Structure 1
């Protein structure tokens, strides 16, 4: 194979991969929306809060798309949003929080570690925490 043909083939493969990216992104967003809807089915949202109690919660359940769920009890679930975009937030990641005391608050930082690796991501920050109570 000539070098020019190899470069053309590589460019064509790259263009093909880029062409499917919006479709894959749309599929991932639809899957995240469905998972979030299922997790919050039968719950009603309260007013967003700046902090949430962390000592009574289970989780996190990473949804992706800037959303993490924490279960406080059978009656309450907290939806935590990221302050800004957090490209490392994926369902299969291990979320490591930096917290002080028994609450997690807006702008508290966290990182993600890929399973099978010990290399942490960059920092992300929590935004608001919305309580969802069982109907």
Structure 2
């Protein structure tokens, strides 16, 4: 029994990369919204954290894609894909507390119902991929 308990976490660790490469299915509306936000931008190297200024105006594209950026005209925006998705993110208020001014992968997001204020679940931020406007 003890060997089995030690084996399970190792199996989960090796399965994690395979799960993160799953194709994300978006509705036509979600895909259009994502395309519009990423138009004319180039992806950079993923970051573990973003600073306070980059956390403004979070947009929920789908349960699997969140975008952070100070505005639609911001030079750089950040795309985050929460680990395992964030079920019903578009229907709830996303609440996260920051121990520092940075927001980092692995931090927990609570999903709070818009009407009742009841916590409906949680998820965890993934890496933040910067998308920078291409030079004109």
Residue aligned with 1:123, SS: strand
Residue aligned with 1:127, SS: coil
Distance in 2 of aligned mates of 1:34 and 1:49: 25
> What number of residue pairs does the alignment pair up?
108
More strand by share: 1
Using the TM superposition, give the Cα deviation of residue 31 of structure 1 relative to its aligned residue in structure 2, in angstroms. 2.0
> What are the Cα deviations for residues 17-41 of structure 1, in whole angstroms up to 9, with x where unaligned?
xxxxxxxxx7x63321221111111
The 4+ residue runs of structure 1 with deviation greater than 3 A are none
After superposition, the CA RMSD in angstroms is: 1.8
Name 1:107's counterpart in structure 2. 106
Using the TM superposition, give the Cα deviation of residue 120 of structure 1 relative to its aligned residue in structure 2, in angstroms. 1.5
In structure 2, relative to structure 1, the CA distance for the partners of 1:78 and 1:56 (3 Å cut) is closer
Distance in 2 of aligned mates of 1:132 and 1:96: 24
Structure of higher CA gyration radius:
1
Distance in 1 of aligned mates of 2:40 and 2:127: 21
Residue aligned with 1:62, SS: strand
Distance in 1 of aligned mates of 2:70 and 2:29: 24
- Residues 13-92 of structure 1: matches in 2 within 5 Å? 29-72=27-70, 74-90=74-90, 92=91
Larger deviation, residues 71-80 vs 96-105:
71-80
Query: Is contact 2:54-2:77 (8 Å) kept?
Result: no
Residue aligned with 1:82, SS: coil
Distance in 1 of aligned mates of 2:66 and 2:54: 16
Give the TM-score of the pair, scaled to structure 2: 0.70
Distance in 2 of aligned mates of 1:77 and 1:56: 7
Gaps of 5+ in 2: 1-24
In structure 2, relative to structure 1, the CA distance for the partners of 1:102 and 1:55 (3 Å cut) is farther
